[in-house]
Chains A and B, each alone.
Chain A
Amino acid sequence: MSATSNPALASAKLIDPKALMSIRSLELRARAVVEGFWSGMHRSPYHGFSVEFTEYRQYTPGDDPRYLDWKVFARSDRYVIKKYEDETNLRVHLLADLSRSMDYGSVGFTKATYAATLAATLAYFIHLQGDAIGLLTFDEKVREYLPARHRVGHLRQIMLALEKPAAGRGTDLVAPLERITSLIRKRGLVALISDFLAPLDRLERNLLALAAGGQELTVFHIVDPAELNLGIEVPAMFEDVESARTLYIDPAAAREAYSRKFAAHTEALRAICRKLGVSYQQLSTAEPLEIALFEFLQQRMRRGRLFRRTGSMGTGGRS
């Protein structure tokens, strides 16, 4: 899936991932993607209004006087702004793979960086929508879990969790999916971001369990360009980043078998997704992130389940 295959994105000025990844702060990266993507969008008329009260705040000149609490003023002769928690109707859970295999990259940055940026971008975007966002990072076991919330500072926590370096050795897709199945009770969206360099035997069952729980599933398959076609020319001792196993590989001889096996693996994954009605997207780390975001939204639109305030964005998002 390349940038040119999308007619809507063909004319857009996309950010080169290399340039993007050179930004140190994950939050800034996410903001750069989302805001570039979102430029020209109007402000939501419903901004800041909700029924669920959260806190009081001192009024400062410039605040909207509509939100002044007149009762408090009457009681204490002080201007106080009443704040509400936006009510959401979507809970998005991001499942980010931070295993060691994600720590590989041939284009100047690693898949982990790319995945973290993608997760941050989605989180930022969804946060802007006022929807609750949760995060679960994992390698061979679950590392960190932040429940879906929409609260001050929550996004920051998600960014911090995502910024942690990939530490684990192997990749286990089963445990995080089982965990999230047990954790999420309310219906929502689950986005699984991984390189899927692990056996796929039980993936189908776990994804099925999630889907059966009413979760909407999206799979982002992150691949490095070198992984697609074994883009290494010199014969060398290959070292597995996860297991540290070494093998002497002559790429010229091994390339064909590799490509075949890798394609089979991808196809197996794709088949599972197709079977379960899960949206699948393969992302090469060389591709701009906007494509991922765009595809994400498009797929949601296709499903006709756009949530309340993204309707205007989906139709007139890009100018």
Chain B
Amino acid sequence: MNFLTPLFLLGGLAIAGPILYHLVRRTTRDKTVFSSLMFLLPSPPRLSKRHRLEHILLLLLRCAALALLALGFARPFLKQAPIIDPTAAQPKRIVVLVDTSASMRRDGVWAAARARAEEVLRRAGPADHVALYPFDRQATALVSFEDWNRTAPADRVAFAVGRLGALTPTWAGTHLGNALVTAAEALAENEDGKTAPGPRQIVLVSDLQAGSRLDALQAYEWPKGVELIVEAIKARNVTNAGVQFVADGPESTRAADAPVRVRVTNSPESKREQFKLGWTAATGAPATAANPSPTGEFLSAPIDAYVPPGQSRVFSVPVPKGMAGLEQISLRGDDEDFDNTAYVIPPAQQRATVLWIGRDVAEDVKQPLFFLRRAFAETPRVAVRIVASAPAAPLLPSDVQAASAIFVVDAVSTETATALREQALAGKTVVIAPKSVAFGPTLGALLGRPELTLTEGRTSNYAMLAEIDFQHPLFAPFADPRFSDFTKIHFWKFRKLDASGIIGARVVAKFDSGDPAIVEVPTGKGRIYVLTSGWQPEESQLAVSSKFVPLMWSLLEQAGGVASFATQYAVGDKVPLPADGTATTVRPPTGAAVALAAKAGEFAPTGQPGIYQLEGGAKPLRFAVNLDANESRTAPLATDELEQLGVPVARLKADAAVPAENKTLLQGLEAENRQKLWRWFVAATLAVLLIESALAGWTARRPALETQEVTP
């Protein structure tokens, strides 16, 4: 038998105590009352005769109790061949998740994380399978299991460490839930399709910030047998405040020089609460009109931002006079800089021109132009100029050039029609809403099909829009079932058009009679829309319905007149590109412009915060990419939250920390832990003490009984 803490055996020396005690005759604790002690002298306690111990059995029991207790404390264990742990021999499958989110840019965090990840990799046994997954919003394999297995066993760790060395933190947010799900799934699937017999582990190397998103775990059933080992990295600085732009709503009427609202959050453990907030210029960029001072200093007097730890406050940062167009708000006074800049695109009113060709009198409430003017009323975001031109008047090139969309409602001369067609071929959008069947020849000329004729449609009472192609961009805003009801709009009059004869024509909406209501005819680079019924009250209720304005704006947007282009994104967000497909390149805040693939619907690599510029369209579009607001929440996340979501979080085993030279001790510790013999010793001590108490009680009572019997 071996002992883990043999020094405790010295406690066995306490056996001497009971032996001495038994040698000394018991000085009784019993009190006898006597009438007077005046004739009595105190007697000294007597020692029993040498070598004559009293109550041998009691003495033995007491000694045994002490000895057993000492043995128990010495933590005994039986040395034996280490029991083969059935799981120990089997190779482990380990996914090392390394957090590369923006919060890892904090002082010293990334270096510590990389060192810890390297340590984890080096700890892997030769038979283990290891995969390395860095993650921010997504987890992607840096070293997959296949890579690991392909590499020679001796080179595996070096290979993985080498890959790890090239890794740097990104600017993206922390979607920890996604990463854990990805890792768990990577562990669940096996190369040969069978479940691996060995233990499966996920080692998470992360700063475990409170802003980590775990929502992906909520609907995920964690696979059995996959345990999570958390290697949390502690940041040197606990103070961290972040600044985020409070986005204006789409209906916002913020003027270009109105104050910008930003939210400043301070972490709960922060040691500071006083910050400065103000406009700055981008550092490193060349000085331009918009960026006059690229040193990072405040361009105007900063405002004081007082935010107590654990709270967030919204501040209005006024735009300094004469400096409209500033794009960067910075926070100063914070220990960690990674989240101290918010990028803002100053609001700018878009201008569009619509050319109207018709005989309408502007203020005639029965004419379609009247309604179109009201539909395109000016907003802070867009101002639409409608240029009305009589059908007979010659087309002014300047008007045509400026117009995004050309509305034709009355028959024009063939020359004009041909000129309009050329404009359509060149990329303009022409909207035709014939007021009468007399428009037929013009339509033929516009569409390049002179044989086309228009006939008056017949309705018993009224017609409704029946078949609407909600996939079409024109009606896409109405695709939601809440907005898709067009049956309330009655059409009294419409023109019959045989769309089947027009090559490439697409019927976007049909009347309930089956006749086309809106037809899109792609023409060259542009397109021609034919509305077979007008919106004026004489023909339909469309103008007075709630669908009219969005429909017209949708038309204008399709025509490229206005861009419904959002300007605020988070790092990693996909930026939808304008539908007209005119954007060809994206200029990120730093680095070379990125050419966009033809017909690319979105721009994905928004890898760093800053102002991006889309080029290629009529005018460049700018959008701001900011840090995920959650990245500023750098307080540590409690692992309990992971456990609550069903992720079994394992504590690191002790053996990881013990140096190799203490292996014997370690084995002893393990054996002792397994055998737990001390429990038996303590139990035996208790049993002996029980017997001792009973025996002592009995012996103590016996003389008393005897004296009672003696007393007559």
Chain A residues near B707 (CB, 8 Å)? 233-234
Contact B43–A254 (Cβ < 8 Å): yes
Tell me whether chain A's interface is mostly helix, strand or loop, or mixed. Answer: mixed
Cα A239 to Cα B42 with chains together (Å):
11
Q: How many A-B residue pairs have CB under 8 A?
A: 85
Chain B residues near A131 (CB, 8 Å)? none
Contact B43–A237 (Cβ < 8 Å): no
Contact A253–B43 (Cβ < 8 Å): yes
* A232 touching B34 in the complex, CB below 8 Å, given contacts A237-B29, A248-B27: yes
A249 located at the interface, meaning its Cβ lies under 8 Å from any Cβ of chain B in the complex: yes
A261 located at the interface, meaning its Cβ lies under 8 Å from any Cβ of chain B in the complex: yes
B483 located at the interface, meaning its Cβ lies under 8 Å from any Cβ of chain A in the complex: no
Tell me whether chain B's interface is mostly helix, strand or loop, or mixed. Answer: loop
Closest to A224 in B: B35
Task: Give the number of chain A interface residues (Cβ < 8 Å).
Answer: 35
B481 located at the interface, meaning its Cβ lies under 8 Å from any Cβ of chain A in the complex: no
Q: How far is the CB of A222 from chain B (nearest CB, A)?
A: 10
Contact A104–B34 (Cβ < 8 Å): yes
Q: How far is the CB of B36 from chain A (nearest CB, A)?
A: 4
Chain A residues near B46 (CB, 8 Å)? 250
Cα A265 to Cα B38 with chains together (Å):
10
Interface residues of A in 219-253 (CB under 8 A from B): 224, 227, 230, 232-243, 245-250, 253
Cα A238 to Cα B31 with chains together (Å):
6
Cα A249 to Cα B34 with chains together (Å):
11
Q: How far is the CB of A119 from chain B (nearest CB, A)?
A: 19
A197 located at the interface, meaning its Cβ lies under 8 Å from any Cβ of chain B in the complex: yes
Contact A262–B35 (Cβ < 8 Å): no
B41 located at the interface, meaning its Cβ lies under 8 Å from any Cβ of chain A in the complex: yes
Interface residues of B in 697-712 (CB under 8 A from A): 703, 707, 710-711
B33 located at the interface, meaning its Cβ lies under 8 Å from any Cβ of chain A in the complex: yes
Cα A177 to Cα B30 with chains together (Å):
38
Contact B710–A238 (Cβ < 8 Å): no
Contact B29–A101 (Cβ < 8 Å): no
Closest to A255 in B: B40
Cα A238 to Cα B33 with chains together (Å):
6
Cα A104 to Cα B40 with chains together (Å):
16
B249 located at the interface, meaning its Cβ lies under 8 Å from any Cβ of chain A in the complex: no
Contact A238–B34 (Cβ < 8 Å): yes
Chain A residues near B42 (CB, 8 Å)? 247-249
* A235 touching B43 in the complex, CB below 8 Å, given contacts A104-B33, A104-B34, A241-B33: yes
Q: How far is the CB of A159 from chain B (nearest CB, A)?
A: 25
Chain B residues near A249 (CB, 8 Å)? 32, 40, 42-43
Chain A residues near B37 (CB, 8 Å)? 238, 240, 243, 245, 247
Chain A residues near B30 (CB, 8 Å)? 234, 236-237
Closest to B42 in A: A247
Contact A242–B36 (Cβ < 8 Å): yes
Cα A246 to Cα B46 with chains together (Å):
18
B500 located at the interface, meaning its Cβ lies under 8 Å from any Cβ of chain A in the complex: no
Closest to A250 in B: B43
Cα A196 to Cα B133 with chains together (Å):
103
A51 located at the interface, meaning its Cβ lies under 8 Å from any Cβ of chain B in the complex: no
Contact with B along A154-194 (1 / 0, CB 8 A): 00000000000000000000000000000000000000000
Cα A242 to Cα B37 with chains together (Å):
9
Chain B residues near A227 (CB, 8 Å)? 35
Contact with B along A80-113 (1 / 0, CB 8 A): 0000000000000000000001101010000100
Cα A111 to Cα B36 with chains together (Å):
13
Q: How far is the CB of B710 from chain A (nearest CB, A)?
A: 7
* A240 touching B31 in the complex, CB below 8 Å, given contacts A234-B707, A248-B43, A249-B43: no
Contact B43–A239 (Cβ < 8 Å): no
Contact with A along B12-56 (1 / 0, CB 8 A): 000000000000000111111111111111110110000000000
Cα A257 to Cα B30 with chains together (Å):
23
Q: How far is the CB of A256 from chain B (nearest CB, A)?
A: 11
Q: How far is the CB of A49 from chain B (nearest CB, A)?
A: 47
Cα A133 to Cα B198 with chains together (Å):
109
Contact B31–A197 (Cβ < 8 Å): no
Contact B35–A232 (Cβ < 8 Å): no
Which of B27, B29, B37, B703 has most A Cβ within 10 Å? B37
Contact A235–B33 (Cβ < 8 Å): no
Closest to B27 in A: A248
Q: How far is the CB of A87 from chain B (nearest CB, A)?
A: 42
Cα A233 to Cα B32 with chains together (Å):
11
A70 located at the interface, meaning its Cβ lies under 8 Å from any Cβ of chain B in the complex: no
Cα A101 to Cα B34 with chains together (Å):
8
Contact A237–B35 (Cβ < 8 Å): no
Contact B34–A240 (Cβ < 8 Å): yes
Cα A247 to Cα B39 with chains together (Å):
12
Cα A186 to Cα B711 with chains together (Å):
47
A296 located at the interface, meaning its Cβ lies under 8 Å from any Cβ of chain B in the complex: no
Chain A residues near B35 (CB, 8 Å)? 101-102, 104, 111, 195, 197, 224, 227, 240-242
Contact A262–B32 (Cβ < 8 Å): no
Contact B34–A235 (Cβ < 8 Å): no
Q: Could you write out 28 A-B pairs with CB less than 8 Å apart?
A: A224-B35, A233-B707, A233-B710, A234-B30, A234-B32, A236-B31, A236-B32, A237-B30, A237-B31, A237-B32, A238-B33, A238-B40, A239-B32, A239-B33, A240-B34, A242-B35, A246-B31, A247-B37, A247-B40, A247-B41, A247-B42, A248-B27, A248-B28, A248-B42, A248-B43, A250-B46, A254-B41, A257-B40
Q: A233-B710, A236-B28, A239-B34 are in contact. List 16 more A-B contacts (CB 8 A).
A: A101-B36, A195-B35, A224-B35, A234-B30, A234-B32, A236-B32, A238-B33, A248-B45, A249-B32, A249-B42, A250-B43, A253-B43, A254-B41, A258-B39, A262-B39, A265-B39
Binding site for A on B (CB under 8 A): 27-43, 45-46, 703, 707, 710-711
**8 nearest A-B residue pairs (beta carbon):** A104-B35, A250-B43, A261-B39, A236-B32, A197-B36, A240-B37, A247-B42, A101-B35
